[in-house]
Chains A and B, each alone.
Chain A
Amino acid sequence: MTATQPTPAPEVLRQHAEQAYAHELSALAAQDDRPKPPQWNLSPHAVLTYLMGGKLKDGTEITAKYVGHRRLMEIAVATLATDRALLLIGVPGTAKSWVSEHLAAAISGDSTLLVQGTAGTGEEAIRYGWNYARLIAEGPSEAALVESPIMRAMRTGKLARIEELTRVQSDVQDTLITVLSEKTLPVPELNTEVQATRGFNMIATANNRDRGVNDLSSALKRRFNTVILPVPDSLEDEVRIVVQRVAQLASSLQIPAAPPALEEVRRIVTIFRELRSGVTEDGKTKLKAPSGTLSTAEAISVVNHGLSLAAHFGNGELSAADVAASLVGAVVKDPVQDGIVWREYLETVAKKREDWRDLYKACRAVS
């Protein structure tokens, strides 16, 4: 395990946050004159600016990474500054991982110390494993130890990230307790321990819908401050998020199509919001809600998919026909129940809107 980061090859599909926004981070660091917590690259204030966007004194424009309540990001940053672990909760697609990645990038300059939580995540993914060939050849030694990302974060004083904490088995979750309270990871086989250096902390994300799969024990809960990330408040916020993310993704995926018309995005976001809340935006018609979550992230992928269809098979401009296929795919997760929901929506809501004719026809054609 070498500590040096390989410089990313230009053909990498998606760059890490600290690489994609390197210029913003360095501009912020240059301007930052407020006190920094130990080992932090930026002061809490600068981290907030990085997340919420703004303009620096030297004119550098910082893009908004999180569109929503500033209050929530303040709590998140303040939590990390008080050396307490942060847990981001929300329904799928509410930018939990996105926020956690950017927090790690801004604070430690490294968002790669990541453990992906699954039902199969074992203790060695959180503590350490062994290189068995070496273990058998040489017996237990430092050299035979395979560090987990968390152990590495402890050594280097950086932020570790755990995705989908509630999917991890309870007994594995509980190995975090010592790490979080005593900031140490014992290695009994070598009769040593790894003590966390200053700057180490942890950001975990968890899914509201997963509650009960592997709910955290109260001992572990107590070691986290929680921030609940909500779905976007207003239509305009959500449209903004979708447009911004689609533009970023399109540039990284090199989709040649022109940027999507705002109107088309607004229609998609409207459909998502209406189905999610079970009532039309004017509050007059009640709707059935589909089984999926219909998050902002899915709206982004619908627009993206539509863009690439338009670029490769269409005339380059995002049209109703381009989004229809992936729109239906995003809404109809359960072919029987969601199919009914979607048809009802098309007939009772979409059909009646004068300027939605094309979308209605396109959707009828594919569903």
Chain B
Amino acid sequence: MTLTLFPIRHHGPGSARSLAGALERLRPDLVLVEGPADANLVLPFLAHPDFKPPVALLGYVNDDPARASFWPFAVFSPEFVAFQWAARLDIPARFMDLPASATLGFEREDEPESDLHSDPLRVLAEAAGYSDFERWWETLVEARGDGGDVFGAVLEVMTAVRADAPAPAGREAMREAHMRQTIRAAQKEGFQSIAVVCGAWHAPVLTDLAAYPVKEDAALLKGLPRAKVTLTWVPWTHGRLSMHSGYGAGVRSPGYYHHLFTTPEHVTERWFARAARLLRGEKLEASSASVIEATRLANTLAGLRGRALPGLDELNEAALSVFGWDSDLPLRLIERQLIVGEALGEVPSDTPTVPLAQDLARQQKKLRLKVQPEQLEMTLDLRQDNDLARSALFHRLNLLGIPWAQERHAGGRGTFKEAWALAWQPEFSVRLVQASRSGQTVADAAGAQAIETARTSASLSELTALLEAVRYADLPDALPAALDALDARAAVGADVADLLSALAPLARLARYGDVRGRDEVAKGADEAPARVFRTLLTRTCVGLPTAAIGLAEDAAGVLQRAVDAGDASVRLLDDAGALAEWRAALLHLANRLEAHPLLVGDAVRRLRDSGELDSPEVERRVSLALGADRPGDVTSWLDGFLGHSAALLLHDSALLALLDGWLAGLEGDAFQESLPLLRRVFSRYEKPERRALGEAVRGGGPNRGEAVLELDEERAMRVVPVVLRLLGVRQ
């Protein structure tokens, strides 16, 4: 009965390669690997042909999925190599660490481990003057070619290190006790040759089981929490190999490690050849001669630094010097594409997972959406069924708090286009688990989530946004809840501006139905949105005139924009009753003397445009407003009244004449005071409009006859001689 220990470095390609060879020589009849013991059930999936690392073992507490842990594995993770080897030869392999039910059951978070604990070999390599651990390992181990008892040597080193370290306590003591107990149980089962693959730090306490009394180990493990947990595999990315994982083996250069692991020989040459291909693909210069030179420089640099093989530092410096010329652009490309080398793993489709995740996978397949970690830009044409379904899926996922797709601004004309940026992050798998409590399909879960949000939202603007989201996400079942919530919230009392902006989505709903389908007639306009719209409008109309009183300049501006939006919504709905109610409210506002002049001017303009007020009435109101005591009020009023286009003034000469007369009659001081405000009003007009206005005022306009003043002939005559002389006419 033998026990062979393989102290490894987590995610270390060097350890992984050595381990593969060592297992092949040893041929154990059981492989035990550091990892949660209750994950043994999902181990068979590792042998599945569709299983592609990087993947992570995900464990979460059933009734609180937010409490979750990951154990990531890459192709070059020794743990993964051990399982693969065992699966190929049909040799049993198991995890041996504390079960996830215990680690997730602890109330307290795991205390952070020091570098020495989590990655003692790297600390050793740094002590030996290597910044790149893998090259140290390669120099020490692989370059020698025999690989014989590397693990024995590492074990010896670690035994010496741990002899000086304090005895393990807390979680660490429990973990190590559990590992020992697992080994003991396996021995009892009758396995003759057991291989144990564990982090280098733990190896020394697993060699001599007799040194640790069974009783003490059992006592340590007594009363472990037993949370109900689920364990499964989820796709992972290289970039997050170092994420919280039970051990924090940081991997800053996963792409480089992958290269090391998969390249049997000529590591440097192949690295630069790949770099050159990458640079050529980006239209940068990189010839084969440069590859040769870079390789030579990297080798010489390593030699100069007394290292047997170039490490990542030497590779980068050589690349910068040979490919870089005087910019670091090539190096940045290499860094992003080769050194980090983002990749997303795959798990077989029958991996146990929540139904929600399965539903999502089905839809992704059906809608031909690729799941990838790099950002992908996509423009959807909503007139196409497939794109419309995609858009609904994206909106639903966003409702569920899974921002896989984020909406971007779509350029161009037309409302049928949507731009999205897609990037899958591995943590989304946890969010899916969390969201799965709301429903079994994406549509159900999003609907339930929307209803929940509607119930708990506090503000009207949140509800308005929700209403829009529900409409885009095509969730008809959630609509009544959102509408009811909106109605109820509006009743409790809300800001008029908020009420006004809530009108817009409601009007769209009432007018076009609850989906963005192309056959709006068939869907029909629902009763409910129109009903809620009317209620909301009534509340708004009651509140509007009062809301316009006692406002500061910028608050009035906000309200004016809201009125504009509300006005557009009312006109969109085109319901006679609603229109009458709205205009009555505007008229009421226009008649309030104490209302803010900006809003009064705005209301008068709207009433005039809709034909509610006839011309003489408007002129009366204008001259009344222009006669106000404070010039500030006058310009505010004009600002509201004239709005953003000069068309009104250009085509209504009577109105222009009125304005002109008012301006010409101002006192000096008042004129000075109103000049900047007037300028602000007029500077918004287009240049041609301003010129046309100027010409009209100067007298170029057709209707300026009545404004001609009487001439003082005597004074006019005085300049005639000068003008004649200027023109060269001698008397």
Contact = CB atoms under 8 A, between A and B. Distances in A.
A78 B326 contact: no
B326 A226 contact: yes
B290 A78 contact: no
Interface stretch (B64-72, B297-305, B514-522): B297-305
A84 B301 CA distance: 13
Interface string B279-304: 00000010101100100110011011
B324 A45 contact: no
B321 A227 contact: yes
Contact of A221 (B317, B318, B325): B325
B285 A81 contact: no
A115 interface: no
A75 to B, nearest CB: 5
Interface string A69-82: 00100110111011
Given A222-B289, A225-B293, A82 B300 contact: yes
Interface string B298-325: 0011011100000000000110011011
State the majority secondary structure of interface residues on A.
helix
A77 B324 CA distance: 18
State the majority secondary structure of interface residues on B.
helix
A309 B682 CA distance: 65
A227 B290 CA distance: 15
Interface string A313-345: 000000000000000000000000000000000
Interface residues of B, number: 19
A82 B296 contact: yes
Nearest to B295: A82
Contacts of A89: 326
Given A45-B304, A74-B304, A228-B326, A222 B287 contact: yes
A147 B297 CA distance: 31
Interface centre among B293, B297, B326 (most CB of A within 10 A): B326
B322 A78 contact: no
B285 A84 contact: no
Contacts of B290: 222
Contact of A218 (B285, B296, B303, B304): B285
Nearest to A211: B326
A75 B285 contact: no
Contacts of B318: 75
Interface string A202-238: 0000001001000000100110011110000000000
Nearest to A81: B300
A79 B321 contact: yes
Contacts of A77: 304
Contact of B317 (A48, A71, A81, A222): A71
B321 A225 contact: yes
Interface in A44-86: 44-45, 48, 71, 74-75, 77-79, 81-82, 84
Interface in A107-157: none
Contact of B304 (A78, A221, A222): A78
Nearest to A90: B326
Contacts of B305: 74
Contacts of B293: 82, 84, 225
A67 B687 CA distance: 61
A226 B301 contact: no
Interface residues of A, number: 22
A45 B301 CA distance: 11
A77 B303 CA distance: 11
A208 B325 CA distance: 11
Nearest to B293: A84
B226 to A, nearest CB: 54
A208 B326 contact: yes
Contacts of A228: 326
A75 B289 contact: no
A45 B305 CA distance: 9
Given A71-B317, A222-B285, A78 B325 contact: no
A78 B301 CA distance: 6
Contacts of A226: 321, 324-326
Interface string B190-217: 0000000000000000000000000000
A48 B301 CA distance: 12
Interface centre among A45, A79, A82, A228 (most CB of B within 10 A): A82
Nearest to B302: A78
A43 to B, nearest CB: 10
Contacts of B296: 82, 84
Interface in A235-282: none
Contacts of B287: 222
Contacts of A81: 300, 304
Contacts of A74: 301, 304-305, 317
Contact of A82 (B297, B324, B325, B326): B297
Interface centre among B303, B318, B321 (most CB of A within 10 A): B321
Interface centre among A78, A82, A221, A222 (most CB of B within 10 A): A78
B321 A75 contact: yes
A225 B322 contact: yes
Contacts of A75: 297, 301, 317-318, 321
A81 to B, nearest CB: 5
A78 B285 contact: no
Contacts of B300: 44, 78-79, 81-82
Nearest to A216: B325
B518 to A, nearest CB: 55
Contacts of A71: 317
B404 to A, nearest CB: 40
Nearest to B321: A225
A84 B304 contact: no
Contact of A44 (B285, B289, B304): B304
Given A89-B326, A221-B285, A225-B321, 18 more contacts: A44-B300, A44-B304, A45-B304, A74-B301, A74-B305, A75-B318, A75-B321, A78-B303, A79-B297, A79-B300, A79-B321, A82-B296, A221-B325, A222-B285, A222-B287, A226-B324, A227-B321, A228-B326
For the complex of A and B, list the 9 residue pairs with the smallest distance between their C-beta atoms, beginning with the closest: A78-B300, A82-B296, A225-B321, A78-B301, A82-B300, A89-B326, A81-B300, A78-B304, A44-B304
18 contacts: A44-B304, A45-B304, A48-B304, A74-B305, A74-B317, A75-B321, A78-B297, A78-B300, A78-B301, A79-B297, A81-B300, A82-B293, A82-B296, A222-B285, A222-B287, A225-B293, A225-B297, A228-B326
